Amino acid sequence: MNEMRYQLNLLKAMNQKLAAKERMYHMVCDASAEAFLYYSFEKNEVVTLGKWHDFFDFEVHDMKEAAKLFDAVDESCLLKLRDVLFLEKSGEASLTAECLMKDKKRWFRFCANVTYDALGRPEEKVICTSDITKFKNQNEELTYMAYYDGLTGLYNRNYFVRQLGEFVRTAKERNSVVSVLVIDIDDFRKINDGMGLVVGDELVQQFGSFLKELCSREVIVCHLSSDVYCMAIYEPMGDHSVEHIHKTIQKRTREPFCLSSGQELQITVSIGVAEFPEAASSALELMKCAEIVMFKGKSTGKNTIRYFNASILNEFLETVELENKLKEAVFKKNFVLYFQPQFYAGNQKLRGVEALVRWREEDGKMISPSVFIPIAEKNGAIIPIGNWVVEQSIRQYSAWRKQYGVSFIMSINISALQCARDDFVDSLLKTIRKYQVDPSDVELEITESILINDFDMVSDKLKQLHACGIKISLDDFGTGFSSLSYLKQLPIDTLKLDKSFTDTVLTDSATRVITESIINMVECLGFESIAEGVEDEQQYKYLHAIGCDVIQGYLCGKPQPPEELEKLFQKAFTA
Ligand code: C2E
Ligand code: CA
Ligand code: CA
Separate counts of helices (H) and strands (E) for the chain: 23, 21
Nearest CA to ligand 1 atom 21: 533
The H or E element that residue 562 is part of is helix 562-574
pLDDT per residue of the chain (575 residues) written in tens, 0 to 9: 677 788 888 788 778 888 888 888 878 877 888 999 999 999 998 999 999 999 999 999 888 888 899 999 999 999 999 999 999 999 999 999 999 999 999 999 999 999 999 999 999 999 999 999 998 888 888 878 888 888 899 999 999 999 999 999 999 999 999 999 999 999 998 888 888 888 999 999 999 999 999 999 999 999 999 999 999 999 999 999 999 999 999 999 999 999 988 889 999 999 999 999 999 999 999 999 999 999 998 888 889 999 999 898 888 888 888 899 999 999 999 999 999 999 999 999 999 999 999 999 988 899 999 999 999 998 899 999 999 999 999 999 999 999 999 999 999 999 999 999 999 999 999 999 999 999 999 999 999 888 877 888 999 999 999 999 999 999 999 876 666 677 888 899 999 999 999 999 999 999 999 999 999 989 988 999 999 999 999 999 999 999 999 999 999 999 999 999 999 898 888 76
111 & 66 share domain? yes
**Contact at 8 Å (CB) between 489 and 472?**
no
Burial class (CB in 10 A: 0-12, 13-18, 19+), 212: middle
Ligand 1 atom at shortest distance from the alpha carbon of 447: 34
Secondary structure of residue 351 in the 3-state scheme: strand
Cα–Cα distance, 154 to 164 (Å, whole number): 14
94 & 205 share domain? no
358 & 493 share domain? yes
Instruction: State the CATH number of the domain containing residue 287.
Output: 3.30.70.270
Range of the domain at 166: 148-308
CA of 436 to the centre of ligand 1 (A): 27
Cα–Cα distance, 355 to 394 (Å, whole number): 10
220 & 334 share domain? no
336 & 482 share domain? yes
- Nearest to residue 538, comparing CAs of 529, 521, 519, 551? 551
567 & 425 share domain? yes
Has residue 394 been placed in a domain? yes
CA of 474 to the centre of ligand 1 (A): 14
132 & 173 share domain? no
Cα–Cα distance, 37 to 124 (Å, whole number): 11
Has residue 142 been placed in a domain? no
Q: What is the domain count for the chain?
A: 3
210 & 168 share domain? yes
- Please give all residues whose beta carbon lies within 6 A of any atom in ligand 1, as ranges: 340, 355-357, 368-370, 373, 386, 389, 413-415, 445, 475-476, 499, 532-535, 553-554, 559
By the CB criterion, residues less than 5 angstroms from ion ligand 3 are: 475-476, 532
- Nearest to residue 446, comparing CAs of 484, 408, 487, 398? 487
In 386-480, the DSSP E strands lie at 409-413, 442-446, 471-477
Has residue 366 been placed in a domain? yes
Nearest CA to ligand 1 atom 45: 413
195 & 110 share domain? no
C-alpha radius of gyration, the chain, whole number: 41
527 & 551 share domain? yes
Q: Write down which residue in 106, 136, 166 finishes a domain.
A: 136
- Model pTM above 0.75: no
Instruction: State the CATH number of the domain containing residue 468.
Output: 3.20.20.450
Has residue 295 been placed in a domain? yes
